[in-house]
Amino acid sequence: MGTLVEEILSRRVGRPVHAGDTVVAEVDAVMAHDVTGPLAIDAFRSLEMPIWNASRTVFSFDHVFPSNSVAASELHRRIREFAAEFGIRNLFAEGICHLVMVERGFIRPGGVVVGADSHSTTYGALGCFATGMGSTDIGVTMATGRSWFRVPETLRIEVTGKLARGVQAKDLALSVIHQLGAEGANYLAVEWGGPTVSAMGLSERLTLSNLSVDFGAKCGLCEVDAKTWEYLHLPDGGDLRPSQASYAEVLRVDVSDLEPQVSAPPAIENVRPLSELAGTRLDEVFIGSCANGRIEDMAIVAGMLEGRQVSPTTRTIIIPGTRTAYVQALERGYIDTFVRAGAVVMAAGCGPCLGRQHGTLGPGERALSTSMRNYPGRMGSPDAEIYLANPAVAAASALAGVIADPREEN
């Protein structure tokens, strides 16, 4: 009974809980990556406690993998030594942590997962209460298997209408962020629902849940249906929906007339219709990230780059989010298409999204990215500009060398 987050946390603690209550709850899994992991290990060691459960503790090498510096290698070495010492075998270097967590079966509908990365909200698409935390919280959970949560009030986003060709979940999320602002859902659970979300595939729902944190949400949940179980390759465990829920706010969105959206610098809520920004010269296009680095995103891009050449004045970087997506892209010929089109294809991981390795922007440069953050300095120089958009817009823009409309491609 209640909102999705109330339902999930009530089941977990074995009694009805409501928005405003604070609970200490067990988690199903705890995750840190190569940059937040070492601080979590420091917190864990300070506790002088045994590890809670090595088989549910996950480290992902993705933010700076393969290492590009002695400093990064040192962080990796500390994580490997810690894992060896405590018998942790879930040490993955096969792509972006949030996508790997889903692929590797750590996420279950109705579950509770915490991660030392803000985009841990991504798992909400699978009906899992998941939230990002700092390293200290994660180190404490590695020792105790628990964390404390204030049960959040819920913002229900009820979506109707059919998305037009070239318009995707990313555009819906950006338009909502434009409407509500970058802290419009601060401390709230966001519940994405309505016929449009039900009609979406899981890849698109994952994009919605991923971007939920970028307007402040504690979690971004979608209802569980047959498609959810199918995506996880699990027997259908039944639907999970809110019932008799009391919402802090309900936002109704009709996407029928939505056009592709572009978030312009210097802040994510600075969202404009694509048509207003078309023609803006670009130095770089990045296609990938935990927002839009899945095989479905690669398929859209491959379909547009097939037999074409990207602009010689724009460097185009494409990164399938995980090794699995990379292999699928290989098998389907997408990688062949990308490379022949003149794009640079890099190893699965976070890539240029956070400016730490390859594709780093110089002062005055301008990039369009399918990632989710355009704070000054995010992808390199604080004097560079970052535009955010969906993969189809990114592919059209890579071909044109300027921000371009995919609906004008054949």
Q: For binding to another protein (CB under 8 A), which residues are involved? A: 21-24, 35-36, 38-39, 42-43, 46-49, 63-64, 69, 71-72, 75, 116-118, 132-137, 139-140, 143-144, 146, 148, 150, 182-183, 186-187, 214, 216, 218, 267, 354-356, 360, 373, 375-378, 380, 382
**Closest distance of CB 365 from another protein, Å:** 15
Cβ distance to another protein smaller for residue 158 or 269: 269
Which residue, 24 or 330, has its beta carbon nearer to another protein?
24
- From the CB of 387, what's the least distance to another protein, in Å? 16
CB of 110 vs another protein, minimal distance in Å:
22
Q: Which is nearer to another protein, 237 or 377 (CB)?
A: 377
CB-wise, 260 or 380, nearer to another protein? 380
Shortest distance, position 198 Cβ to another protein, whole Å:
28
The full 3-state SS of the chain, as one line of letters, equals CECHHHHHHHHHHCCCCCCCCEEEEECCEEEEECCCHHHHHHHHHHHCCCCCCHHHEEEECCCCCCCCCHHHHHHHHHHHHHHHHHCCCCEECCECHHHHHHHCCCCCCCCEEEECCHHHHHHHHHCCEEEECCHHHHHHHHHHCEEEEECCCEEEEEEECCCCCCCCHHHHHHHHHHHHCCCCCCCCEEEEECHHHHHCCHHHHHHHHHHHHHHCCCEEEECECHHHHHHCCCCCCCCECCECCCCCEEEEEECCCCCCEEECCCCCCCEEEHHHHCCCECCEEEECHHHHCCHHHHHHHHHHHCCCCCCCCCEEEECCCEHHHHHHHHHCCHHHHHHHCCCEECCCCCHHHHCCCCCCECCCCEEEECCCCCCCCCCECCCCEEEECCHHHHHHHHHHCECCCHHHCC
Nearer to another protein, 110 or 355 (CB): 355
Q: How far is the CB of 219 from another protein (least distance, A)?
A: 11
Q: How far is the CB of 39 from another protein (least distance, A)?
A: 5
Instruction: Select 6 or 117, whichever has its Cβ closest to another protein.
Output: 117
CB of 240 to another protein, least distance (A): 24
CB nearer another protein, residue 320 or residue 351: 351
